Amino acid sequence: MNRIRDIRKAKGLTLTDLAAACDPPTTAQTIGRLETGMRSLSLTWMNRIAAALGVDPASLMRDDTAAPARIVAELAASGAEPLTSLREAVLPTDLAGGEDGAAPLVLAVRESIGEYRPGDLIWLRVIDPDAGSDAVTPEMSRAMNRDCLVPRPGGRFAFGRLIDRRGTLVGLLPPGAGQKQVVVDNPAWIAVAIMLVRSL
């Protein structure tokens, strides 16, 4: 299977939009058949569709050995909110897999908050907070004073500037004006913002 559908949806395009963007234009039915594998994805079609999507042709092929990056939450004025279903995020460059091979996480911004605008994608790298240890690891020290996403009980998230770490407690300052510090006890992981993708 290819990634045409995932990339098309990540860019907010319908089958008709993508068909019209191809040069020469094609039909939505043809794009649908190429996405599902009912029609063979030739090199010509790969180049044509990649150009219409504005991506490298190689990115249309799925790499089954690497976990895809997923949009796990959306940032709104009220804070980071979980999605009802995860969405695959399209890498602007080849960032898949960190040093440990883990795929990055992505936070989609739904509403303006702090320095973030609607449509922004905040790419995050998961680190081990070394919960239960009073020692600050090198990874944790590099995460201090950077925006981070932290899981909370009940499938919720906290997002903000990591400003404090005391034992198992992690303190985040949300990006919205006038918001109070959020403290999370013993998070399973901390995801540090590594890149902001903003459409022009």
| 173 and 106 within one domain | yes
Indicate the residue among 15, 37, 60 that finishes a domain. Answer: 60
| 76 and 56 within one domain | no
Token pair belonging to 12: 């907010």
> What DSSP state is assigned to residue 59?
G
| 21 and 85 within one domain | no
| 89 and 41 within one domain | no
| 76 and 28 within one domain | no
d(CA 179, CA 184): 15
The strand order across the sheet containing 182-185 reads 79-88, 70-76, 105-109, 121-127, 190-197, 147-152, 156-166, 169-173, 182-185
Q: Which domain holds residue 38?
A: 4-60
| 167 and 95 within one domain | yes
Q: What DSSP assignment string belongs to 9-27?
A: HHTT--HHHHHHHSSS---
The CATH number given to whatever domain includes residue 170 is: 2.10.109.10
Sign of CA pseudo-dihedral 126, 116, 88, 7:
negative
Indicate the residue among 60, 86, 107 that finishes a domain. Answer: 60
For residue 61, the SS3 value is strand
| 8 and 77 within one domain | no
| 13 and 101 within one domain | no
d(CA 172, CA 82): 18
Q: How many domains does the chain have?
A: 2
| 167 and 98 within one domain | yes
Q: Is residue 65 part of a domain?
A: no
Give Cβ neighbours of residue 153 (< 8 Å, ≥ 6 apart): none
Question: Among candidates 94, 91, 84, which has minimal Cα distance to 106?
Answer: 91
> What DSSP state is assigned to residue 60?
G
Q: Is residue 100 part of a domain?
A: yes
Going residue by residue through the chain, which has 200 residues, state the pLDDT in tens, using 9 for 90 and above: 788 988 888 888 899 999 999 999 999 999 999 998 888 888 899 999 999 998 888 788 866 556 667 788 888 888 888 888 777 776 554 444 444 556 778 999 999 998 999 989 898 888 877 644 555 677 777 888 999 999 998 889 999 999 988 888 999 999 988 889 999 998 988 999 988 888 76
The CATH number given to whatever domain includes residue 21 is: 1.10.260.40
* 6-38 residues labelled b (16+ CB within 10 A) or e (exposed): bbbebbebebeebbebbeeebeeebbbebbeee
pTM beyond 0.85: no
| 87 and 125 within one domain | yes
